[in-house]
Copies of this chain bind each other. A is one copy, B any other.
C-alpha cells in the first residue's frame, strides 16, 4: 500500500520517540529531526510506509552512531515473551484445537510492537495475551483448517517474522504445524525498529524449529525489490507463506502470490483504508 498523508505525523512522532531511546539531548534530536524533515521534503508517497520509515531510521541510527537503538527493548521483549510463552504452551496443549490456539497466540504476540509507541506497556501486552484464548474459541475454524491443510501438504513453508518477542510465539506456532515440512523463518538483515533479526530469532529458539534466513533488507516490512535473491527464491517457491505483522502486510498486500497475513490492526490509516477496525485480529488470505 502507498503511504498516506496521515502516516507523516506518525512517522515524525515515532522518529522523535526512537531517538529518545538513545539520547536525552533534545538539541541532538532536533538536529536529527531537521535531517528527517529534509528527507521528508523530497518524499515519494508511492513508497510503502515501511520504506519511508527505513530511510528515517537509517538517519537516526547513523547520526546517533547506534546501529541498534531498540536492542534493550528487543531483549526485554524476548525475555518477557519467553515467560508468557510458558503459560501459552500449556493453554495450546490443553485446548481442543491446539493449532487454532497457536495461531491465536501468534497474533496475540504481534502486540509486542514499538513501531507506534517506543515504550513497554505491560497492560496492553497482558490484555492481548488474555484475549488469545477467547479468540481461539471464536476463531474462524474453516479458515484455520485451510491453513492447517495447506501446511500439511506443503514441502516448504516460509514465515515472515515481524517483531522481537512476537518471534517467541511464532516458534510456538511452528511447533504446532501438522508435519515436518521444511520451515523457513525470515528475519531482517540488520536492525530496524524492534524487528526480529538473526540474533533475536536465535534467542527466541527459532533455530530449533526452522531455517532462519535473512531477507536481505532493513525495511520494517518485506519489499521484494529490496530483498536478496536467496530470499526471493524461497519466497517464490514456498508452498505456503505466512506473513506476520502490519509492516509485512503494508508491503506485501498487493503482491501476486498467495500469502496468509496474521496481524493486529494497530493503525487508524490501515483500519480506514481497508475497512477494518482498530484492534482487529486478522487472518487474511491474499
Contacts and interface: CB of A to CB of B under 8 A. Distances in A.
Given A12-B12, A41-B41, A5 B34 contact: no
A12 B40 CA distance: 11
B12 A9 contact: yes
A106 to B, nearest CB: 31
A40 B41 CA distance: 9
B16 A9 contact: yes
Contacts of A13: 6, 8-9
Interface of A: 5-6, 8-10, 12-13, 16, 26, 29-30, 33-35, 37-38, 40-43, 45
B38 A43 contact: no
8 contacts: A5-B29, A5-B30, A5-B33, A9-B16, A30-B43, A34-B41, A34-B42, A37-B43
Contacts of A34: 40-43
A14 B246 CA distance: 25
Nearest to A8: B12
B8 A10 contact: no
Contacts of A5: 16, 26, 29-30, 33
Contacts of A35: 41
